[in-house]
Amino acid sequence: MTTSSVAALVLCFAFLFCVSQGAKVTFTNKCQYTVWPGTLTGDQKTQLSSTGFELASGASNSLDLPSPWSGRFWARTGCSNNNGRFSCATADCGSGQVTCNGAGGTPPATLVEITVAENGGQDFYDVSNVDGFNIPMSVTPQGGSGECKSSTCRSNINAACPAELQMKGSDGSVIGCKSACLAFGDDKYCCTGAYNKAETCPPTDYSRFFEEQCPEAYSYAYDDKNSTFTCSNRPDYVITFCP
């Protein structure tokens, strides 16, 4: 056994387990304001080394993803700490802390979803407005092979959001745009009940609105055709807020 192999083995024992090399994801905030990214690992797996942090305007931060891995990322806005309890105006995860600790963001929230394949296989990633929208986001693979295109929602959907979907802040400004599912709770908008498959849950006027604003992002549950992106051979990822 080589010296490097012994060192790697000792490192694995030190952490009690070994994680396969996955991907590095770098968060870059191009908004003119601070955001608080949140992270959520799916399938009840171990959460990442950070589940939430502050990211000032112009700043970047990185996290390592194991392989395989699947989860989501989002940005919280308008956050503050009041009497020891942290909360946000949009996409709050309800933990009372900057870290989300395994909780997701409260809709409306723009999402980036990534599935890292095992052994350098095909990753899947997307920007999703299925849970509504709070800020523009994009995800771009770095390296890898295959199509490896950026998935982007650059539009400020809040500015065009229909009145019945608007989420307003304390000053009356629109700070989020709800999905029709969240706004109305109807099966035909949520793709649930009798509408729980693609054949019975076609696009609606509301999902078409989101699609027109951000054609590359998921507009509703079965918007797979032009909203799912792939890249193989271990790419890293850059997630940009306000690209």
> Furthest-apart CA pair in the chain: how many Å?
66
Strand 236-241 and strand 23-29: the pairing is parallel
Query: Could you tell me if residue 190 is inside a domain?
Result: no
If DSSP codes are grouped into helix, strand and coil, which group holds residue 135? coil
Predicted TM-score (pTM) of this structure: 0.90
| Each residue's pLDDT tens digit, 144-172 | 999 999 999 999 999 999 999 999 999 99
Query: Could you tell me if residue 195 is inside a domain?
Result: no
Q: Is the pLDDT of residue 9 over 50?
A: no
Query: Could you tell me if residue 193 is inside a domain?
Result: no
Q: Is the pLDDT of residue 24 over 50?
A: yes
Q: Identify the CA nearest to 89 among candidates 156, 171, 161.
A: 171
Confidence of residue 6 (pLDDT cuts 50, 70, 90): very low
Query: Could you tell me if residue 183 is inside a domain?
Result: no
Query: Could you tell me if residue 67 is inside a domain?
Result: yes
Q: Which residues contact 184 (CB under 8 A, 6 or more apart)?
A: none
Query: Could you tell me if residue 135 is inside a domain?
Result: yes
- By residue range, what is the domain housing residue 137? 19-156+217-241
Distance of CA 94 to the CA centre of its chain: 17
Number of domains in the chain: 1
Q: What is the CATH number of the domain that holds 105?
A: 2.60.110.10
Calculated CA dihedral for residues 137, 227, 21, 58, nearest 10 degrees? -10
**Average model confidence (pLDDT) across the chain:** 92
Q: Are 158 and 89 in contact (CB under 8 A)?
A: no
Structure tokens at 168: 């307003």
Query: Could you tell me if residue 202 is inside a domain?
Result: no
When pLDDT is averaged across residues 111-116 and rounded to a whole number, the result is 98
Sort 27 into a burial class: Cβ within 10 Å, 0-12 / 13-18 / 19+.
buried
Apex 51 CA angle, 50 and 53, nearest 5: 75
Query: Could you tell me if residue 4 is inside a domain?
Result: no
What type of residue sits at position 170? S
| Each residue's pLDDT tens digit, 55-104 | 999 999 999 999 999 999 999 999 999 999 999 999 999 999 999 999 99
Q: Is the pLDDT of residue 193 over 60?
A: yes
Confidence of residue 20 (pLDDT cuts 50, 70, 90): low
